[in-house]
Each structure stands twice: as C-alpha cells, then as structure tokens.
Amino acid sequence: MSRNPRTFRKPVRLILSVEAETVAAIDALMKAGGIHGHRNRSEFVRRAIERELRRCESDDFKTSTRARV
C-alpha cells in the first residue's frame, strides 16, 4: 500500500458518510498536532483504512473469523 497519496498510480475516489462526532474527533486530533499531525481528513481516513486492512490480513484475525463462522 502506498504511503504517499501523490504517487498513486490508479487513484479511486471513495465517498463515505460518518457521524458528526467522528469528524469532530478527527479535527481535534489534527488541530492538536503531535504524532497525529495529518494534513487533512481524507489522509487520516486513508491511513485508518490501510491499518484496518493490515489488521484483517493478520493470522490472528483470520483464525478468529473462521471460528465464528
């Protein structure tokens, strides 16, 4: 997965809806700076999606999912 959105070879626009409280929490993190110094909401969401995908690909997640099915 790419780390720099400017280097995407085949970018796709994704439109989604989230609760207002979620947007407010993202904005608060962005304003606070520090290690969460993202430049914009879309970059924050892109990174969160990539983290979740990596988590889902882990062996532990696959094992626990199979046990539920």
**Which tens digits make up the pLDDT trace of 30-69?**
888 766 666 788 888 888 898 899 999 876 666 555 555 4
1-35 pLDDT, tens per residue?
A: 546 666 778 888 899 999 999 999 988 888 887 66
For residue 22 the two structure tokens come to: 């979620």
State how far the alpha carbon of 56 is from the alpha carbons of 3, 17, 43, 65, 68, in Å.
19, 22, 20, 10, 15
CA distance 69 to 17: 29
